[in-house]
Amino acid sequence: MEDKHLVRRYILVVLSFVLIFSLVGLSRPAVHAQGGTVVRLVPATAQVGVGEAVPVQVVVDNVTNLFGVEVHLTFNPALLEVVDADSGTDGIQVSLGPFLSVEFVAQNTVDAAAGRVDFGFSQVTAVPRSGSGTIATITFRGKAAGSSPLNFTNVILADQSGGPIAATAQSGAVNVGGSTPTPTVVPSATPTVVPTPTPTPAPGTAVLSFHPSPANVGVGQEVQVALRVQNATNLYGVEVHVVHDSGIDAVAITPGTCVKDVVAQRSVEGNRIDYAASLRAPSAPFNGTCDLAFVTIRGVAAGAGYRLSFSSALLSDPNGRALAVSAQNGVVNVSPSSTSCTDILGYHVVRRGETLYAIGRAYKVRPDAIARCNNITNPSRVLEGTRLAIPNVPWSPVPPGPTAQPQFGGGTPACRYYHTVQAGENLYRISLRYGVSMWAIAQANRILNLNYIRVGQGLCIP
C-alpha cells in the first residue's frame, strides 16, 4: 500500500498538478459546459450476467494536445471483478490506449479487494492527440446480482509540457443480472497474431509485402524489415506510402537491391513511411523477386500485432504505366525490454534548463528508458536537482538537438557528490566543505556568475 501512495505522489509531483475538488466532487456524473473536455464511460450503464464479462471503455471527448493521463475509479467488489488484460504481468491490469500511444506506463493496477482501478501513462515521442477516443478499456465480470456504481475519484489530463487540461468526468454503472445474457466477447489485450500465408499472385500481378512478417523486436531495440516485391514483370519504378501503429517507430529507410538508380523520396516522419525510386537508362526493367528497400523498426511499447499498412502502392513500367500489384500489410510484435534498470551507467543531477532528451544525448541513452528507470511520468518535464539513474540503453542514431553537459564518462569528471543549496550558502562555503575550488564547481554546473546560486539548486561536486 505504501508503494501505491509513493507512485501516486510521484506522478502528481511530476505532472505539477493541484486538483481542487468541490463538495460534490467527481463521485457522481458531472455537469459540463458544451464544448468542454469530458471523460466518460461507454456504455454509461453496462449490462452483464453473473459469470459473464463486459468491456467498458474510458473515453475522452473534445480534448486538445493530450499527452498523458491518470485515472482512478472505484467499483463494488462484491458485485464485480476486473478481467486481467495482461496475463503475462503480475497482478491485474486494464487495457490501455489506443487514443494515446502507450509509451510509458507509470501505474496500471487493480485492487480487487478494495474495488479500485488506478492507471497512469503518457506518450514519449508521439505527437499530442486532439479530438476524441478511448484511453483505456476495463473488462468487468459479474459476480453477484445488483448494480455497481463506477465512480471516478480522480482524473488528470496533461499536455506535453505537463500542464493540466481542464476536464469533467461522468461516472457510470454496471448492472449485474441474475440470468445469463447473451455472452459478450472480451477482446484480448495481447492477441496472438497468426501470419497470413502469402497467396499465389495471379499471372502478371506483382506482390508487395514486408519480410519477415511478423517481425519481432524488444522495447528500445531495432529490427530491419524488407519491403519485398515478388512476381515483378517489366518493373522500372516504385512509389509506396505506409503508415504504422504507434507501438512501433520507423527510424530509417534505405534503398534495397533493385530499382534504386534514382531515389526520389525516402522519409520516415511521424507514423508514415514514404519511398519512391526508379531505374535509369540504360538499366533494363526488373523481373522476379527482390527487396526494394529496408525499413528499420524500433519497438516503442510492448504488444502484439502492430501493423505496417500500405496507404498506397504504385509500380510502373519504363513508359510510366501502372503495373498490377497486390499489397500485403506487415505485422510487428514488440516484447518487453530485457534491459534491467539495475544496469546503470552512472548518475546525473538535472541542471536548470535540461530536459531528458538533452540528458539522453549526453550519454547516447534513450530518454524514455531514463524516464522508465526513474519513474518519470512525463518525459517532457523533469525537476531541477533530480538525481537520475542513467540506464545502459543505447540511443542510435542520436537526433540533433540541445545536449546536456555529461557528468560522468568521456573527458568530463564524474560527480563525486551531489549538493542541494541551502539558505545562506554560497559557492565559496560549499567549495570549502568538499575540498574543491569554487571555479571547478561553477564549471561543472555551468554557473556563469560565481555570486549567484539559488536555494534548492542541485550541484554536481566534481
Q: Where are the domains of the chain?
A: 2-177, 206-335, 343-401, 415-462
Q: What is the DSSP string of 307-354?
A: EEEEEEEEEE-TTSPBPPEEE--EEEEEEPP---TT-EEEEEEPPTT-
What's the mean pLDDT in 273-302?
Answer: 90
3-class secondary structure, 27: coil
What's the mean pLDDT in 40-52?
Answer: 92
Note the pLDDT of residue 22. Answer: 30
Global pTM reads: 0.40
- CA distance linking residue 206 with residue 323, whole number of Å: 8
What's the mean pLDDT in 62-69?
Answer: 90
pLDDT digits (tens, 9 = 90+) for 346-382: 888 888 888 888 898 888 888 888 888 887 877 667 8
The pLDDT-based confidence of 60 (bands split at 50, 70, 90) is very high
The pLDDT-based confidence of 337 (bands split at 50, 70, 90) is low
Q: What is the DSSP string of 353-419?
A: T--HHHHHHHHTB-HHHHHHHTT-S-TT---TT-EEEEES-B--SPPSS--PPPSSSTTSPPPSEEE
Note the pLDDT of residue 151. Answer: 95
End-to-end CA distance of the chain: 39
Overall fold of domain 206-335? Immunoglobulin-like (2.60.40)
- CA distance linking residue 253 with residue 280, whole number of Å: 21
pLDDT digits (tens, 9 = 90+) for 127-181: 888 888 889 999 999 999 999 999 999 999 988 777 789 999 999 999 998 644 4
pLDDT, mean over the chain:
80
**Fold agreement (206-335, 415-462):** no
Note the pLDDT of residue 190. Answer: 41
- CA distance linking residue 47 with residue 140, whole number of Å: 10
- Name residue 155's beta-bridge partners: 71
Q: Which three cell numbers stand for residue 237?
A: 519504378
Q: Strands 206-211 and 325-327, how do they pair?
A: parallel
Q: Which CATH number describes the domain made up of 415-462?
A: 3.10.350.10
Q: Which of 1-15, 318-332, 362-376 has the lowest mean pLDDT?
A: 1-15
Q: What are phi and psi of 436, to 5 degrees?
A: -140, 150
Contact yes or no for 76/148 (Cβ under 8 A): yes
**Cα–Cα nearest to 236, from 290, 294, 277, 289:** 277
- CA distance linking residue 150 with residue 173, whole number of Å: 5
The pLDDT-based confidence of 20 (bands split at 50, 70, 90) is very low
Note the pLDDT of residue 2. Answer: 42
What's the mean pLDDT in 83-102?
Answer: 83
Question: Residues of the chain with pLDDT > 70: what percent?
Answer: 83
- CA distance linking residue 40 with residue 180, whole number of Å: 27
> Sign of the CA dihedral 365, 366, 367, 372?
negative
Q: Which CATH number fits domain 2-177: 3.40.1710.10, 2.60.120.10, 2.40.420.20, 2.60.40.680?
A: 2.60.40.680
Note the pLDDT of residue 410. Answer: 56
3-class secondary structure, 171: coil
Contact yes or no for 347/230 (Cβ under 8 A): no
Q: Where are the beta strands (DSSP E) in 143-271?
A: 146-158, 168-170, 172-177, 206-211, 215-218, 222-235, 237-244, 248-255, 262-269
Architecture of the domain defined by 343-401: Roll (3.10)
Note the pLDDT of residue 89. Answer: 72
- CA distance linking residue 331 with residue 244, whole number of Å: 9
What's the mean pLDDT in 417-444?
Answer: 86
Question: Residues of the chain with pLDDT > 90: what percent?
Answer: 35
- CA distance linking residue 18 with residue 230, whole number of Å: 58
Note the pLDDT of residue 32. Answer: 36
Q: What are phi and psi of 15, to 5 degrees?
A: -75, -15
Q: Which three cell numbers stand for residue 402?
A: 540541445
